[in-house]
Amino acid sequence: MQKVDRRVLKTQEAIKKAFLELMNEKKFDEITIQDISDRANVNRSTVYLHYLDKFDLLDKLIEEHINKLKETSEWACQVEWVEAIQILFEYFENHALFFSTMLASKEAAPSFRSKFLDYVIEGFKDELHKTNGNGKNEGLNEDVIVKFVANAYVGVLESWLKDGMPSPPQSIAKELGILLERIL
């Protein structure tokens, strides 16, 4: 596996950060590659060297974070609810610009929200299967339970980010963990 040059990584990070900042200031349709390159302090050709267009940049950003969350979830799911949620909310906190932008953006939100919700639904489906024998949800439709929990989870995250992360990940994790244990 070939090691990626740190300058390339630094340039890509500058482009992604510039793009997210612009998404907080402008509508997605109004953002140009020139805007991104100016904000990132790179040439337009440099942006095109890494991304086909702003749609490709958006797709790659979304894919990158969903993949990171999947990696984080794999080992987070080996611990108790509260600790697992804390690990994930620390990730959300560390990448607050991305998540708050994606969840607030009218143009990007449907694409991101859909992919993110699918990721969350799959995670809760796995958890529901692990705890299926506990009898809490006997007679209830699995799809309804999972969609209810996933949408509530995303809603809490969205609200937490929108409100400026008023409580630390430990606090939100404790409360969500208790609620999830009651439901799942």
What residues does each domain of the chain span? 1-51, 61-183
- Where does 2-141 have alpha helices with state H? 6-25, 33-40, 44-50, 54-76, 81-94, 96-104, 109-130
CB contact at 8 A, 97 and 17:
yes
The pLDDT of residue 70 is 86
The pLDDT of residue 167 is 95
The pLDDT of residue 108 is 66
The pLDDT of residue 134 is 66
The pLDDT of residue 131 is 65
The listed CATH number (1.10.357.10, 3.40.50.170, 3.40.50.720, 3.40.190.10) that belongs to domain 61-183: 1.10.357.10
The helix (run of H) or strand (run of E) holding residue 172 is: helix 169-183
The pLDDT of residue 41 is 97
Q: State the burial class of residue 12 (Cβ atoms within 10 Å of its Cβ: 0-12, 13-18, 19+).
A: buried
CATH topology of domain 1-51: Arc Repressor Mutant, subunit A (1.10.10)
**Is-above-0.95 flag for pTM?**
no
The pLDDT of residue 144 is 93
- What is the mean pLDDT for each group of 10 consecutive residues in the chain (184 residues)? 81 96 91 97 96 95 91 73 89 94 76 87 82 72 92 94 94 91 82
Rg of the chain taking only CA atoms, in angstroms? 19
The pLDDT of residue 81 is 80
